[in-house]
Copies of this chain bind each other. A is one copy, B any other.
Amino acid sequence: MTFEVKILGSNSASFAFSRHHTSQLVNSNQNLFLVDCGEATQIQLLRYQVRYSRINHIFISHLHGDHYLGLIGLIFTYQLQGRTDELHIYGPKGLDEIITTQLKYSDSRLNYSLQYHEISNGNQLLFENEDLKITTLTMDHRIPCFGFVFEEKLRKYKLNRDILPQHFTKEQLMDLKDGKDVIDSDGKIWLYSDLTTPPNAPRKYVYCSDTRFSNSIIENVIGANLIYHEATFLNEMQARAETTFHSTAQEAGRFASIHNAKQLLIGHFSSRYFDTQPFLVEAKLEFENTVLAVEGHTIEVLPIQPIKVKEKHVEVINR
C-alpha cells in the first residue's frame, strides 16, 4: 500500500536558491493529504504534476506565512476549476478568520463545501479512515504550532489463495483475515497461520513543523518509520535556533534518535545557506539514516517487517 511523502517546499521563511516555502504531500493508499501550504504551493503542485483536485484534506501547522500563504490561492483555484468535493482544512485558531475575511472581500461564494476544523491541542484526532488516522502534536514555537502523526492501522492477514480450500464461508474467511483459526463443517481445525501471510506492521509518519528542540520524549512519536523534523540552522547558529524557536540539523538528528525512529527527513533550511549538504552531515552525527528534503523528491515511508505470527492459537471458532 502506498505511503509516501512528496516534498513541495524545503526552505524556511524566504524563497532562495529555487527553494520554496514549506509544503508536503502525503499519499496514503492514493488518498492525498497536503501538509502546510506556503506561498506558491499551487505552482509546485503543477510543476510536479500532482493531480491536486484529489486533495481533500489540508493541514496547516501554524500561522507563520511560510506555512500557509498558498492556501487561500488554492481555495480560489479549486473554485475556478469547478470543484464540488468537500475540502477539509485543519489549522490553528485564526485561520478560519483569515480565510473568511478574504472570501468576503473577493465576494466569493464557493461552489464546494469548505469544512474548517480548528486544532486546539496536541493530542487531537483530526482524521480517520480504514487505512489511517491523523493526530496532532504540540510543537514548541513562538506561536501555537502543531505537528501531525500519520499512523496506519493494522491491516488484515492476507489469504494465501494458492493453498486456500474452496469450501470456507465468507465469515470463516473473515476470521482467517482477522488472525483467527477456524473449524470447518467436517470438524477440521484450520490454522490461520497456515493459510495466511501476516500484514506488514503499521507504519507511522511524523511531521514536526517549526519547533525548538527538546529532550522530552513524545510518546506518540516513538518508533516512527519516518520523521520529518525542521532543521533551520547548522550548529554554528544553535543559539539563534534557540531564541527563534527553531532547531539545528543535529538537534533534528537527536530527536529522531531519542524517539528510536527508522528514518529522518530534514528541511526548512534557512536562506542563509546555499548548500544543504552540511545539514546532512550534522544530522548524521546523531542519526545515520537521514535524508534531505529536496523539492520534487518522494520519500517512501518504509515498512519495518511483517508482524510476528502469534506462537499460540488462543482462539478457535467454529461457525
Q: State the A residues within 8 Å of B (CB).
A: 13-16, 20, 39-40, 42-43, 46, 63-66, 69-70, 72-73, 76-77, 80-81, 93-95, 97-98, 101-102, 104-107, 142-143
Question: Which 4 A/B pairs are nearest by Cβ-Cβ distance?
Answer: A94-B105, A40-B40, A63-B105, A65-B76
Complex Cα distance, B76 from A63, in Å, reads 12
Complex Cα distance, B97 from A309, in Å, reads 60
* Cβ distance A1 to chain B, nearest Cβ, rounded Å: 32
**Chain B residue with Cβ nearest A75:** B65
* Residue numbers in B under 8 Å from A39 (CB-CB): 39-40, 42, 69-70, 73
* Cβ distance A37 to chain B, nearest Cβ, rounded Å: 11
Contact A143:B107 (CB < 8 A) given known A65-B72, A70-B39, A102-B98: yes
Complex Cα distance, B94 from A77, in Å, reads 21
* Cβ distance A193 to chain B, nearest Cβ, rounded Å: 54
Complex Cα distance, B106 from A97, in Å, reads 13
* Cβ distance A77 to chain B, nearest Cβ, rounded Å: 6
User: Does the CB pair B63–A106 fall under 8 Å?
Assistant: yes
Complex Cα distance, B70 from A39, in Å, reads 8
* Residue numbers in B under 8 Å from A97 (CB-CB): 101, 105
Residue of B15, B20, B101, B142 near A98 (CB, 8 A) is B101
